[in-house]
Chain A
Amino acid sequence: MNTLCQGEMPIDTENDIVMARKSVREAAVTLGFGVTDVTRIVTAASELTRNIYVYAGSGIMRWHSINDSNVGLELVFEDKGPGIIDVKLAMEPGYSTGKGLGMGLPGTKRLMDEMDVLSEIGKGTTIRIRKWLRQ
């Protein structure tokens, strides 16, 4: 119940995305998430770390367990990249400035329970996602 886990990981190379997935998988399994939720969380982490790598070049992923009235996992993805011009538009399916499917951000939101996107043009982007553990 009182499992505390936290960590952080810089994202600089494509290989770091693989390592990030591994770390997040371990954290989610430790907290007691089921197979499907673990896959959801890992996929979300994969989307957001890839966004850091593709759009910002580098950044950092942090994660920590939440042990309040609800137990859950929070992941924060921070970069000092170009920022998202229109966050609302970016959350729409099919929108992409790169050559992706345009499903990453809206898909991540559906995979997780909570998602906040803070972005400032030229300054960077911080995305916070949460998944609650259902007892």
Chain B
Amino acid sequence: MTTQNYDKSRSILGSDESFRLLVDSVADYAIIMLDTKGQVASWNAGAEKNLGYRQNEIIGRHFSCFYSSESVNEGLPEKTLKLATENGRYEYEGWRKRQDGSRFWANTLLSPMLDSQGTLIGFAEITRDFSERKNADYARSLIEASLDPLVTIAPDGKITDVNAATESITGRSRIELIGTDFCDYFTDPEKARNGYQQVFRESMVRDYPLELRHANGRVTSVLYNASVYKDEDGAVVGVFAAARDITERKLSEERIKQQSREILELSTPVMQVWQGVVAVPLIGCLDSQRTQQFMERLLDRIVETNSPVALVDIMGVPTIDTQTAQHLIETITAVRLLGAQVVLTGVRPAIAQTLVHLGIDLSGITTRSSMAAGLLVALDLLKLQVVKKSENHRGD
């Protein structure tokens, strides 16, 4: 029984008919035979599927009907036949036109067919629809073109793919990176692990800060934005993560911070406003470092000018919290130890209320709302008086 069947099938397999069946069963490829001039001589099911024409509609027509009119004007169909004849084969990719006028991206292999004497009898053309591949290539080229390092990570934390930017920021090739642990390339692997695990848990993370380490040791600060990606059934298969190099941003932030520190540390001038009276207009915030500077300068100037009174103006201090108040009280105490007195001026109503709410006791300190009022207090302490010039003095 078996032998009989085998024999039967073998006899079919060896025939031209079987070859016909083979060619026809290949639905994904258009397998076309052209005569020496490029006219269609045979047509398979795959050709009908890809190009639309039925066999009886296309046999005998020139294969240039698969090309756009521009390509035909450029002589592309003839050129491919010439190249195939010269080189023994010719493979190329390009747009091809269907019967209904729509087009698709095709990969074509054109081979000359020779008889036993070596005479050209026609061409075999095998064409495949490469649209999907082209789309994938296009997406890939976008990914590669991205300046942001991109990476995909499997649930076990292994890298499954990277782009060129990731290669350059890590200093390692794609081949080296794929299959290794994502966490290995960061200064803080644990934080990196927490990062991608958070993505698997919460589907996405935004602006996750990490530091990438280059093979040469150089560290780049990045922010990761990542989300999970799913297969056709909606199951999570991995994490897609995009890093943004924030070195520049960090530098400028650092520069701004540096500048604002410099502004904060601008020296506070201690001015002698009268014989025996110095004044300090405080501007900005009073942190411990600045208070220290200001206190030293004030004490020095009090001794230097032998001033019994110091006016400390806080009009330009936006906020006085308990620490600022503490700094002020300490300064005032230090001035008193030198035998001088402080008049606190420029106390704004809002600040006064806040100080009361905070429970800060300034009852032992002379305060005035303005520097002018403070100066009067100072003059009074020095037993001085401001007298309006009499008329007699005019012209002296």
* Interface residue ranges, A against B (CB under 8 Å): 14-15, 17-18, 21, 25, 35-36, 38-40, 42-43, 46-47, 50, 93, 100-101, 103-104, 106-108, 110-111
Contact = CB atoms under 8 A, between A and B. Distances in A.
Contacts of A36: 349-350, 353-354
Interface stretch (B46-54, B165-173, B355-363): B355-363
Contacts of A110: 357-359
Contacts of A106: 359
B322 A104 contact: yes
B359 A18 contact: no
B296 to A, nearest CB: 19
The residue in A101, A106, A111 that gathers the most chain B C-beta atoms within 10 A of its C-beta is: A101
Interface of B: 257, 260-261, 264, 285, 287-289, 318-326, 349-351, 353-354, 357-360
A101 B357 contact: no
Given A15-B260, A18-B285, A39 B354 contact: yes
B321 A46 contact: yes
A79 to B, nearest CB: 17
Nearest to A38: B350
A75 to B, nearest CB: 14
A14 B320 CA distance: 15
Given A15-B257, A15-B260, A111 B319 contact: no
Nearest to A16: B257
Contact of B353 (A21, A40, A93): A40
A40 B322 contact: no
B319 A100 contact: no
Nearest to A44: B321
A50 B320 CA distance: 12
A15 B320 contact: no
B350 A103 contact: no
A43 B320 contact: yes
The residue in B261, B351, B353 that gathers the most chain A C-beta atoms within 10 A of its C-beta is: B353
Contacts of A42: 318-319
A93 B322 CA distance: 12
A24 B351 CA distance: 16
A50 B358 contact: no
Q: Which 3 A-B pairs have the closest CB atoms?
A: A107-B358, A39-B350, A46-B321
A43 B317 CA distance: 12
Contacts of A104: 321-322
12 contacts: A25-B318, A35-B349, A39-B354, A40-B350, A43-B320, A43-B321, A43-B358, A93-B359, A101-B323, A101-B360, A103-B359, A103-B360
A39 B321 CA distance: 10
Contacts of B321: 43, 46-47, 50, 104
A18 B100 CA distance: 70
B185 to A, nearest CB: 25
B274 to A, nearest CB: 32
Nearest to A108: B358
Contacts of A46: 319, 321, 323-324
Contacts of A108: 358
Contacts of B350: 35-36, 38-40
Contacts of A35: 349-350
A15 B258 CA distance: 10
Contacts of B323: 46, 50, 100-101
Contacts of A21: 285, 318-319
A14 B322 contact: no
A103 B358 contact: yes
Given A39-B319, A40-B357, A107-B357, 19 more contacts: A18-B260, A21-B285, A35-B349, A36-B350, A36-B354, A38-B350, A39-B354, A42-B318, A43-B319, A43-B320, A43-B358, A47-B321, A100-B322, A101-B325, A103-B322, A103-B325, A104-B322, A107-B322, A108-B358
Nearest to B285: A18
A39 B359 contact: no
A15 B288 CA distance: 11
The residue in B288, B325, B349, B359 that gathers the most chain A C-beta atoms within 10 A of its C-beta is: B359
A19 to B, nearest CB: 8
